[in-house]
Amino acid sequence: MTTAADNPATTAARVLVQALAALGVREVVLAPGSRSAPLAYALADAARADRDRPAGAPSLTLHVRVDERSAGFLALGLAKAADAVGETRPVAVVTTSGTAVANLHPAVLEASHAGLPLLILTADRPHELRGTGANQTTNQVGLFGSAMRFAADVPAPTGRAGEGRDLRHLLSRAVAAALGSRTGAPGPVHLDLAYREPLAPASATWPAPAAAGLVEVQRRGPAGDDGGPHGTPAATDDAGTVVVAGDGAGPLARAVAEANGWPLLAEPSSGALGGPCAIGAYRLLLGRPDLGGRVRRVLVLGRPTLSRPVTSLLARDDVEVVVVAPRGADWPDASRSAAQVLVEVPARLLGGPSGDGRPVSGPWLDAWVAAGSAALAAIDDVLDPEVLAAPSRAGTRVTGPLLARAVARATSEGDVLVVGSSNPVRDLDLVGVWDAPPLVLANRGLAGIDGTLSTAIGVALALPTRRVRALVGDLTFLHDVGGLLRGSLEAPADLQIVVANDDGGSIFATLEHGAPERADVFERVFGTPHGADLSALCAAYGVRHTRVGDVDGLAPALAAPGPGVSVVEVRVDRAGRRALMARIAEAVDDAVAALSH
């Protein structure tokens, strides 16, 4: 009987899988194909139960998806969930050659901008077949361009001496680059792996695990200890300071706000929303001269991505902007106005003026907190059904902000909420305030609607003991409806998907494109009504579906998600979106103005 060593592709794939496990990879997502067969066979062995796994094969969790774009975003969700709970580790994605590779590009870009460690492992034809017109052969090398932290074109294995050592060394470099171990800039890496036939195993015998070539790379921590060599925020009146917590800021943003008694303007996916300094509906307060107009310094953590008022604040000439960017070569400064970029918050800003770390209050913070509370109360008054419209035989209509408020109230500490781009995340930003917030995640690296369902399913698979819910718009749902497809042999996820279905792109109605004078073109090129039957789509994928048409049906539908993936479709009014947001802004302005009288 031949041995595995007689088949270079099989041996190399098995060595690679051993190296992945040795370097901390625990989960791999596979999209089937022929050229990637050596990896598929090796991963199938590694995914077997302990009693069935061949000697030498490591233990890995395998997820299989037929759509490469869904596979990429599923891996992104797995990586995002691990990162959010402090267990940062790379997740690998395996595809065959050709267009399969290109379908990973959206997830790769999101991972690059979000700083998530993905290992992109793409199978390829051997070098002698490239440029010959061979089937499913294109130039995959460098396909992802500058999005990669590391990339290598790996020749087809031949079985030469030392080949396993070299492959393990290459994997060590790739994983270190994905984790940002040397650079502090985690992100995706790409190994383009050429394989010659035969592609199927010649033997069930695995090579013995070996350490030759494996490198333990120490991960770099934040530079500096007290901000000394990196500068500290210039002295200024603390009564004019606010903390802006963008996507991924983490609990540090909340800690520094509470230590200094500074208002906290936190996006939902910042990981900092909550506590006594968090300001509700903050974006509607920044235009007020007595609040936003008095800001003189902003401490920025994470990536602010949601609000034009925040963007305008950071661009003001009379505001000092201090950015804290603990990792990565770049830092968020879209307005090109940052005065300082620090790798960490100076220690003196975490101890409080008294040095004991207790939250500090004062007129500046109190004014913001009072305004935020008044703003949220005013929004509630506008959203309450009896204010919006008298109930009809069809029930009181649901609006996007009202749905976001209902989802926020149904989501508690310990839960996970994955929120889609466009209106859902902005509505949640307006109404979502918790004393004890859930874990809120979003794809804000590039803020696209791509792959959101697959991301949420990846999060649910990674956090199986927590209740996971997703809030998305109808276009986001339709864009990734293929993510609902799960093979019968794949592990199920428990996930409730709440779809705000307003039959189109209502976010554009709140922008300049939705102005009345542009109504003649709005619907076709911005609103894009589709009329899709979401219940029929769910039925096709074997997913439970519930339709909610009025306010009274919201709470019962959200209360009991049940096992597996389920969809709650909420019919949302789109025609009144622009007018509703104007009414909310006016009500908030009146309520805050009344505080000074």
What's the domain range around 161? 4-194
Work out whether strand 118-124 and strand 150-154 pair parallel, antiparallel, or are unpaired: unpaired
d(CA 546, CA 595): 43
Handedness of CA 135, 139, 144, 148 (dihedral sign): positive
Residue 229 lies in a domain: no
For residue 507, the model assigns a pLDDT of 84
For residues 263 and 178, membership in a common domain is answered with no
For residue 518, the model assigns a pLDDT of 87
Work out whether strand 416-419 and strand 468-473 pair parallel, antiparallel, or are unpaired: parallel
Helix (H, G, I), strand (E, B), or coil: what is residue 432? coil
For residues 322 and 181, membership in a common domain is answered with no
Half-sphere exposure of 316 (CA within 13 A, CB side): 18
CA 39 and chain centroid, separation: 27
Say which amino acid occupies 42.
Answer: A
For residue 329, the model assigns a pLDDT of 79
Residue 78 lies in a domain: yes
For residue 203, the model assigns a pLDDT of 92
Which two structure tokens, joined as six digits, stand for 220?
A: 């770099």
Residue 209 lies in a domain: no
d(CA 108, CA 105): 5
The CA-atom distances, in angstroms, between 492 and each of 157, 462, 485, 489 are: 36, 11, 11, 9
Say which amino acid occupies 568.
Answer: V
For residue 311, the model assigns a pLDDT of 95
CATH of the domain at 249: 3.40.50.1220
Say which amino acid occupies 20.
Answer: L
Cα R_g (the chain), whole angstroms: 26
Residue that is last in its domain, among 194, 221, 246: 194
Range list of β-strands (E), 262-319: 264-266, 297-301
Work out the burial of residue 477: count CB atoms within 10 Å of its CB; fewer than 13 is exposed, 13-18 middle, 19 or more buried: buried
d(CA 96, CA 84): 30
For residues 480 and 538, membership in a common domain is answered with yes
Average confidence score pLDDT of the chain: 91
For residue 226, the model assigns a pLDDT of 37
Say which amino acid occupies 468.
Answer: V
For residues 329 and 300, membership in a common domain is answered with yes
Host H or E run for residue 589? helix 577-594
Residue 523 lies in a domain: yes
For residue 230, the model assigns a pLDDT of 43
What ranges in 161-296 are assigned the alpha helix state H?
163-179, 251-260
For residue 517, the model assigns a pLDDT of 86
Q: Which pLDDT tens digit goes with each residue over 308-357?
A: 999 999 999 999 999 999 887 789 999 889 999 999 999 989 875 444 55
Torsion angle, alpha carbons of 407, 589, 314, 434, to 10: -30
Residue 225 lies in a domain: no
Q: Compute how many other C-beta atoms are within 10 angstroms of the C-beta atom of residue 547.
A: 16
For residues 172 and 285, membership in a common domain is answered with no
For residues 407 and 354, membership in a common domain is answered with no
For residues 527 and 569, membership in a common domain is answered with yes
For residues 366 and 392, membership in a common domain is answered with no
Q: Which pLDDT tens digit goes with each residue over 21-53?
A: 999 999 999 999 999 999 999 999 999 999 999
Residue 530 lies in a domain: yes
Q: Which pLDDT tens digit goes with each residue over 438-461?
A: 999 999 999 999 999 999 999 999
Q: Which pLDDT tens digit goes with each residue over 275-285?
A: 999 999 999 99
For residues 186 and 302, membership in a common domain is answered with no
Residue that is last in its domain, among 160, 176, 194: 194
Work out the burial of residue 278: count CB atoms within 10 Å of its CB; fewer than 13 is exposed, 13-18 middle, 19 or more buried: buried
Residue 14 lies in a domain: yes
For residue 575, the model assigns a pLDDT of 81
User: 523 — phi, psi (to 5°)?
Assistant: -60, -45
Host H or E run for residue 565? strand 565-571
For residues 357 and 390, membership in a common domain is answered with no
Which two structure tokens, joined as six digits, stand for 367?
A: 């004014």
For residue 223, the model assigns a pLDDT of 40
C-alpha triplet 23, 25, 26: angle, nearest 5°: 140
Are residues 484 and 540 in contact, defined by beta-carbon separation less than 8 angstroms? no
Residue that is last in its domain, among 138, 170, 194: 194
Helix (H, G, I), strand (E, B), or coil: what is residue 271? coil
For residues 25 and 118, membership in a common domain is answered with yes
For residue 228, the model assigns a pLDDT of 38
Q: Compute how many other C-beta atoms are within 10 angstroms of the C-beta atom of residue 371.
A: 26
Beta bridge partners of 127: none
Q: Number of structural domains, the chain?
A: 3
Which two structure tokens, joined as six digits, stand for 560?
A: 């009991």
For residues 403 and 515, membership in a common domain is answered with yes
pLDDT beneath 70: ranges in the chain: 1-6, 221-238, 352-360, 385-396
Range list of β-strands (E), 325-377: 338-342
Does residue 556 have a cis peptide bond before it, meaning omega lies within 30 degrees of 0? no
d(CA 464, CA 469): 12
CATH of the domain at 60: 3.40.50.970
Residue 378 lies in a domain: no
For residue 327, the model assigns a pLDDT of 82
